Amino acid sequence: MKQLLFIALLSLNFVAMAGDVNNNASPQPTIDEKVEKLLRQMTLEEKVGQLNQYDWNAVRSKTRDALLQREIKEGKVGSFLNIDGAKAIKDLQKIAVEQSRLGIPIIFGLDVIHGYKTVFPVPLAEAASWDIEAIEKSARIAAIEASAAGINWTFAPMVDIARDPRWGRIMEGAGEDPYLGSLIAAARVRGFQGANLAQPDTILACAKHYAAYGAAEAGREYNTADMSLIRLWEVYLPPFKAAVDAGVGSVMLGFNELNGIPTSANKYLVTDVLKNKWRFPGFTVSDYGSFSELINHGYAADRAGAAELSINAGGDMDMQSRIYIEYLPGLVRNGRVKEDQINDSVRRILTMKFKLGLFDDPYRYCSEQREKELLLAPDHIKAAREIARKCIVLLKNDGRLLPLKKDIKTIAVIGSLADSKVDILGGWAAQGDREAPVSLLQALKERLGDNTAILYEPGYKQYGYTTDEMIDLAVHAAKQADLTILAIGENGNMSGECASRADIGLPHDQPKLADAIAKLNKPTVVVLMNGRPLTIKAVHDGFPAILETWFLGTQAGPAVTDVLFGDYNPSGKLPVTFPLVLGQVPIYYAQKNTGRPAPPVNPPWGTSKYSDVPNDPLYPFGFGLSYTTFEYSDVNLSADKIKMGQSLQVSTTVKNAGSVAGEEVVQLYIRDLVASVTKPVKELRGFQKISLKPGEAKNVTFTLTTADLAFYDNDMNFKAEPGKFKVFVGADSKAVKEASFYLE
């Protein structure tokens, strides 16, 4: 009875404090009206409290627990990160809702990047699927699981365009192309947030890191970015704009500086562009401690100055640095910060809490029963396997070694990555269950049973170190086997945040092991596991078959096995260029032509080329083979001239000329041949993933609009200009057929 009475009183408290009126005689108040009513009741300190986020892991000592409880009761905590579990979150939420003056619920955030307990492929791998529906489904399942464990906010998607594979966080994004990256950004937002944030299985998404963080100089984490406004707007901002258009609820500001101004206090980026020009209605959040790091940048003299610069630039929530809670009230009182600026930030945060339904039911994310039922649910595991298969890219298949025959008597499995459950989860695996993953070795054993002998040798230790004895044992196993599967690449923590690498080749002694196996000249399939493009020319030259499997998550082993034995025909395409050698980096398909372009064959002296290696990469953007062969017809255009505002149909016929069914990603690129600012030699403007039976042919048609031809000129006007254009259609950014037309 006491519990029922308390719930009734709690409901009355919400009516009084939050303006959540339910009166049949008058219309329901809007969220804006509720926010304004609540805002009028808040003290300055309570307002600033909503802008304050703590890392639970950093404040868990007994002394600080007591301190935190007092701050929650005083309304000085708006959000926590790095705490999960329905019960643990409910306990904290009860303090905020039932023991603070206004009962404002807390929002709980976590890095749910590519799955919660059920871990899906790392984002770069999912981008290789070029399957927007599958990517959205992955985020949807992640949201279902995370929300069941009390989480209502994820710091994802990362939408940074990255063209330097030395940068470890290339693993966390969609690769090098803004068109593909924009579609994936929107898909992830839709997946996390669903159709209605008020549903209890949705979580607030957060597009990060705003902006141009992926352009860090030298590929070094947290480093500076410097570029023209045209490059910023054409390459690095489009995925953020796509996320905003998809309704993303929050945006995280980057660690980096851009053109001399740290992004955490960059008024042009945050207020002028994001909030004013794009009319972003959500809230911004610093990256971990980045507001206080303005001091390290040499942009703020002290913590108070950092707080002033950050809030005045439009930074709404302070993640962990404590400078807002410590200094903003005083800065308002002495006139350095206007309270209206504080109010704007509080409005944005409260609005999202209302949209999440936290004022209607602050415990909606705290059902231990849902938590038990939904984590690692069978349909989630099934989806993880299906999506993982789509991400695998067939890089080489000489002599049609793949798919493997099912009657192989002896297989040597070489490489400790083949027997790892942890590494296949990749970086940022959230609360991924470390026992749930199925390794490649385990999956092979389960599939082949007693019919095939499997000889396993690790070949190397963690991070690729090895010994002569380990190599000798691996070579001995390979000699005895009919076929060898060589699992090589990075450990899971070798890519991701703060995992920049100056050398992106196979780590440490793995090249020595690979060379020893290659010298046997026996049938060998290389299974790459990695979170970034690697320089693997020796592997390409030394082995007949190579699968790029990335880090595929909980169902990595079964997914790779499905592809090895032809139960799934690989359809992945690279979302990022693989360099031939490190010296080509940064390398990407959308290069400029230069005044002295080098021809592809025997470039003469005096052209833009290397003297020791070709300009071409090892594998181009969009590349990926299949177990079948696809033939493309010539490109057909609906007209050879179009006027401004008209559209153009671009079509080709694709035929499956092989003996097995397969999927193909048909890609469309354009080139503006003459413009008021120079344009890249190719720019992706469309793709379609089609499925074809053996002998089947399909007509694939794309529609190009004037907007697809537009760009930012030197005065930052976005427009299309009359002139001649080329269109390219094909299997990747290099293997294309072309046609041309005029825009009048």
- CA pair distance 16, 102, nearest whole angstrom: 9
- Cα radius of gyration rounded to whole Å, the chain: 27
Q: What is the CATH number of domain 385-584?
A: 3.40.50.1700
DSSP per-residue codes, 523-544: -EEEEEE-SS--B-HHHHHH-S
3-state secondary structure of 4: helix
317 exposed, middle or buried (CB, 10 Å; 0-12, 13-18, 19+)?
A: buried
- pLDDT in the model for residue 433: 87
Amino acid at 296: N
User: Catalytic residue positions?
Assistant: 287
- pLDDT in the model for residue 22: 46
Which residues have CB under 8 Å from 615's CB, separation 6+? 584, 598, 600, 603, 608, 609
Which residues have CB under 8 Å from 226's CB, separation 6+? 217, 258, 259, 260
User: Mutual orientation of helices 31-41 and 339-355 as an angle, nearest 10°?
Assistant: 130
**What CA dihedral angle connects 249, 251, 252 and 258, to 10 degrees?**
180
Taking the chain (744 residues) in runs of 10, the rounded mean pLDDT of each run is: 39 43 67 97 98 88 75 96 95 96 98 97 98 98 97 98 98 98 98 95 98 97 97 98 98 97 98 98 98 98 98 98 97 98 98 97 94 96 98 98 95 98 92 92 96 96 92 98 98 95 97 98 98 98 98 98 98 98 97 92 88 96 98 98 97 98 98 98 98 98 98 96 98 98 98
Q: Which residue has the tokens 């064959």?
A: 601
- CA pair distance 146, 112, nearest whole angstrom: 7
Both tokens of 229, joined, read: 């406004």
- pLDDT in the model for residue 709: 98
Which residues have CB under 8 Å from 715's CB, separation 6+? none
- Does domain 630-743 bear CATH number 2.60.40.10? yes
Instruction: List phi, psi (to 5°) of 338.
Output: -80, 140
| DSSP structure class, residue 565 | T
User: In the chain, what is the straight-line distance between the N-terminal and C-terminal CA atoms, in Å?
Assistant: 77
Q: Which residue has the tokens 């070694």?
A: 401
Please state the three-class secondary structure of 60-117 as a single string. CCHHHHHHHHHHHHCCCCCEEECCCCHHHHHHHHHHHHHHCCCCCCCEEEECCCCECC
- CA pair distance 687, 441, nearest whole angstrom: 35
CA angle 386, 390, 528 (to 5 degrees): 110
- CA pair distance 310, 577, nearest whole angstrom: 36
Both tokens of 631, joined, read: 């033939």
Amino acid at 218: A
- pLDDT in the model for residue 67: 77
Which residues have CB under 8 Å from 414's CB, separation 6+? 456, 457, 458, 459, 474, 477, 478, 484, 485, 486, 487, 513, 517
Please state the three-class secondary structure of 107-139 as a single string. EEEECCCCECCCECCCHHHHHCCCCHHHHHHHH
361 exposed, middle or buried (CB, 10 Å; 0-12, 13-18, 19+)?
A: middle
Of 192, 180, 30, nearest in space to 120 by CA? 192
5 exposed, middle or buried (CB, 10 Å; 0-12, 13-18, 19+)?
A: exposed
- CA pair distance 442, 369, nearest whole angstrom: 31
- CA pair distance 458, 471, nearest whole angstrom: 9
10 Å Cβ neighbour count for 366? 26
3-state secondary structure of 739: strand
- CA pair distance 460, 416, nearest whole angstrom: 6
| DSSP structure class, residue 691 | E
- Domain span(s) for CATH 2.60.40.10 in the chain: 630-743
Q: Which long-range contacts (CB under 8 A, 24 or more apart) does 539-544 make?
A: 539/488, 539/506, 539/514, 540/395, 540/396, 540/618, 542/514, 542/515, 542/518, 543/396, 543/486, 543/514, 543/518, 544/396, 544/397, 544/398, 544/399, 544/401
3-state secondary structure of 154: strand
3-state secondary structure of 466: coil
- Domain span(s) for CATH 3.40.50.1700 in the chain: 385-584
- pLDDT in the model for residue 603: 84
- pLDDT in the model for residue 18: 42
